[in-house]
Amino acid sequence: VTQCKNHTAKSGMCHDGCAFGNDSGKKNCCAMNDRGYCTHCGCHWADHINANTVYVPCKQEKRTTVEDMRKAYGKGVEDLDNVCILLMTLLDQMKEAVNEFEVCQAQIRECNDFLQQHALRKRAYYSVDFFLQQIKILEEEDQTPTVRAQVSLLKDMVSRQSVIRTMAESDEEGQVAPSRKMFEEMRNMCEEYKQDIKRCGQGTNGTGVNEDFLSSRFAQGNYVSKRKNWDFMRNMWD
C-alpha cells in the first residue's frame, strides 16, 4: 500500500497495490497527479513509501445490562435499584476516563519536552497562524481535488497544533483535578446513599424503618442538601 509519511491511520493510506518501489519511480504512481502530488492526501510523491500494513477502521459496540452490572459489583449493589447501579457504573467509567486523559496528557508533555530539548520542534505550536493563512489562500483558488486535499491536510494540522498548544500551556492539575474530585464526591454520595438504604431497613419498632437513624441523619446540617443532589441525579435517569 502507498502510505503518506505525513499522515496517520486511514488518511495516510493513499492506495493499495502500488507497482512502484520506494524510489523516484513513486512519482509515476497512479495516485499522483502530473505535478507529482498525491490526489488522495495532497502531499508530494517523495513523502510516500510502500507499507505492508493497511489501516482498517472498525466500530465496536458494547452493551452492558443491569444484570451484568449486578454481577460485576456483587453484594456492593444488592440493595440498590437499577438507576443507582447505572449511576455508580457511569461515575466509575468517568473516573477511569479522567485517569486515561491524565496519562495521555503526561505523554504529550514528555514528547514536547524532548523535542524542545533537542531543538527538533522549537515551539512549533505557535505556527497555527501560518497554516490558517495558507488555508485562506488555497480556498480562493480553483477547488481541484489536489487543492481540496491540501486544505484538508492543513486544517488537520491546525487542529493537531491547537491541541498540542493547549496541552502544553494548560495547568495539568488545574484542568483535571476538579473533574476527578467532582466524580469522587458523586461516587461517595452514592456509597453514602447505599449505606443509608441498608440502615433505614434495620428498624426495631416493627415498622421496618430505623427512625432513630433517620432523625440523627437529618439533624446534620449538610445531609439534606447532599440527599437532594443525589435524588436529583437519580430522577434524571428515572
Do residues 80 and 197 lie in contact, with contact meaning Cβ atoms separated by under 8 Å? yes
Do residues 13 and 5 lie in contact, with contact meaning Cβ atoms separated by under 8 Å? no
pLDDT of residue 162: 74
pLDDT of residue 142: 81
pLDDT of residue 22: 80
Give the integer Cα–Cα distance in Å for 203 and 39.
Answer: 76
pLDDT of residue 3: 81
pLDDT of residue 85: 66
Q: Which of these, 46, 93, 48, lies nearest to 69 by C-alpha position?
A: 93
Which DSSP helix (H) or strand (E) runs through 98? helix 82-117
Give the integer Cα–Cα distance in Å for 10 and 17.
Answer: 16
Q: Which of these, 131, 124, 138, lies nearest to 157 by C-alpha position?
A: 131
Q: Which amino acid is at 192?
A: E
Q: What one-character DSSP code corresponds to residue 24?
A: G
What is the domain partition of the chain in residue ranges? Answer: 2-50
Distance of CA 234 to the CA centre of its chain: 26
**Dihedral sign computed on CA atoms, order 119, 123, 128, 133:** negative
pLDDT of residue 198: 59
The grid coordinates listed for 53 are: 500494513
Coil, helix or strand at residue 37: strand
Give, for all 238 residues of the chain, the pLDDT tens digit: 788 877 766 667 777 778 888 888 888 888 888 888 888 888 888 888 888 777 777 777 877 676 666 666 665 555 566 666 666 777 777 778 777 887 877 777 777 777 777 655 455 555 677 778 888 888 888 888 888 888 888 888 788 777 766 666 655 544 555 566 766 777 676 667 666 655 555 444 444 444 454 445 444 444 444 555 555 455 544 4
Give the integer Cα–Cα distance in Å for 6 and 152.
Answer: 13
